[in-house]
Amino acid sequence: MTPAARQSAGIAIIDRILAGEPAEAALTRWARGARYAGSGDRDAVRDWVFRALRQRRSARAWSGAEAESGRALMLGMLRMDGMRPEGWTGKHHAPAPLTEAEASSLSAPPPVLSRGEAGDIPDWMLPLFDAALGAQADTVLKCLRERAPVFVRVHARRAQVAEVIAELATAGITAAPHPLARQALQLEGATRRLKQTAAFAEGRVELQDLASQAVTETMAAHLPAGGSVLDYCAGGGGKALALAAMGFAVSAHDADPRRMRGLLPRAERAGDRVALVETPRRNWPCVLADVPCSGSGSWRRAPEAKWRLTPGRLAALQATQDAILTRCADLVAPGGLLAFATCSLFREENAERIAAFHDHLPGWSEIAQHVWTPLDDGDGFFLSLLRRAST
């Protein structure tokens, strides 16, 4: 595919997403109908689509278009990069030629972006970022407009970090340790080949964000080796698998068990055991509540979510977080640990939830609190470790 044909495909997919189709579904549908597209084409189209979702407001402003559309966002992204649309002839799958209005918008002086446009978020969220991050807010917003680095977790008991680095190098993947998590490797180069490597197929490495790994490593530092952990919101099981790899006896629960579909095959690939529990009993030495949240720390990887979030949805998430905390507190044994985690940057979903928890549930003490932001290289994450009184 020519660069213009790739842009044309990106425009059509972005239009479907703007009409409400989830990004992954729109990309898959396009790929099924585009047998002529090679893997390089599919990667390039995907990059355009995800960039448009990350940079939706700024791209629209750069396009100068009255209405938002895939075509406007593509023109805006090209202009932002100092490029003009090349080969937009309307032939050979290229986008239609520029209209007069588009051509004159592209020759107008560069736009002066508002703070929300420059940070690529809805304006109502600016105070939330300011309250959480203070002077770092704009730097974090800038970071959230870019692609996330790729990290893997090296299995804590089945592989040596140095061996995995050497093995991945033979596949053209450069892997480097990161000080935030012992088992984490940051990948560069042919990262899209990871799933074809023996290290991946044999479960010696798993894709997992850096801060997500820091969460489980921090938990492990406060737990007796090999103890039992209930992952109450296990979802796809990223943290359950990391804890199992460290030798903990992990049980996984989720309100929507379908979300745990991939967990057992992944555990098997890693040579670990995770038990699925529908109705957890009480008296766990440790319960992890990795609660549903806005995901504001992970918007580099899931940028659709930032445009879907509303103040009402954020308030509903806070109520769910409180309810899950209360439920999980009841499941922890006296003297046990409750780990509350979100991939949100907002105080409203983090420190404020812990304050509300202390207000209505005395007898707990916070033994550690950690905040990671994308400036630490991984997703934004929050972790509070709460100890239940022994009696």
Residues of this chain that bind ligand SAM (CB under 6 A): 212, 232-239, 254-256, 259, 290, 292, 320, 324
Q: How far is the CB of 267 from ligand SAM (least distance, A)?
A: 13
Distance of CA 144 to the CA centre of its chain: 11
**Residue 155 CB burial class (10 angstroms; 0-12, 13-18, ≥19):** buried
Q: Which whole-number Å values give the CA distances from 309 to 25, 282, 353, 366, in the listed order?
A: 20, 34, 19, 29
Q: How far is the CB of 364 from ligand SAM (least distance, A)?
A: 19
d(CA 260, CA 211): 21
In 3-state terms the chain splits into helix, strand, coil percentages (rounded to 5) of: 50, 20, 35
Q: Please state whether beta strands 249-252 and 284-290 pair in parallel, antiparallel, or not at all (unpaired).
A: unpaired
Q: How far is the CB of 323 from ligand SAM (least distance, A)?
A: 6
Q: Are 18 and 69 in contact (CB under 8 A)?
A: yes
Nearer of residues 85 and 297 to ligand SAM, judged by Cβ: 297
Q: Which whole-number Å values give the CA distances from 357 to 207, 322, 389, in the listed order?
A: 33, 7, 14
- Which two three-digit tokens encode residue 363? 């007898």
Q: How far is the CB of 231 from ligand SAM (least distance, A)?
A: 6
Nearer of residues 9 and 325 to ligand SAM, judged by Cβ: 325
Q: How far is the CB of 176 from ligand SAM (least distance, A)?
A: 23
Nearer of residues 74 and 230 to ligand SAM, judged by Cβ: 230
d(CA 384, CA 354): 8
d(CA 292, CA 259): 12
d(CA 178, CA 217): 13
Look up residue 126 and give its DSSP letter.
Answer: H
Nearer of residues 75 and 154 to ligand SAM, judged by Cβ: 154
Q: What is the CA radius of gyration of the chain?
A: 23
- Exposure on the CB side of residue 19, measured as CA atoms within 13 A: 9
Place of tokens 């190098």: 169
Q: How far is the CB of 51 from ligand SAM (least distance, A)?
A: 24
Nearer of residues 140 and 288 to ligand SAM, judged by Cβ: 288
Q: How far is the CB of 342 from ligand SAM (least distance, A)?
A: 7
Nearer of residues 173 and 291 to ligand SAM, judged by Cβ: 291
Nearer of residues 48 and 284 to ligand SAM, judged by Cβ: 284
Q: How far is the CB of 236 from ligand SAM (least distance, A)?
A: 4
Place of tokens 């998590």: 181
d(CA 48, CA 81): 13
Nearer of residues 185 and 324 to ligand SAM, judged by Cβ: 324
Q: How far is the CB of 238 from ligand SAM (least distance, A)?
A: 3
Q: Find, among 241, 223, 242, 257, the residue nearest to 333 by Cα.
A: 223
Residues 6 or more apart in contact with residue 103 via CB below 8 angstroms: none
Nearer of residues 58 and 344 to ligand SAM, judged by Cβ: 344
Nearer of residues 151 and 232 to ligand SAM, judged by Cβ: 232
Q: How far is the CB of 96 from ligand SAM (least distance, A)?
A: 42
Q: For 19-22, which contacts have Cβ atoms below 8 Å and span 24 or more sequence positions?
A: 22/304
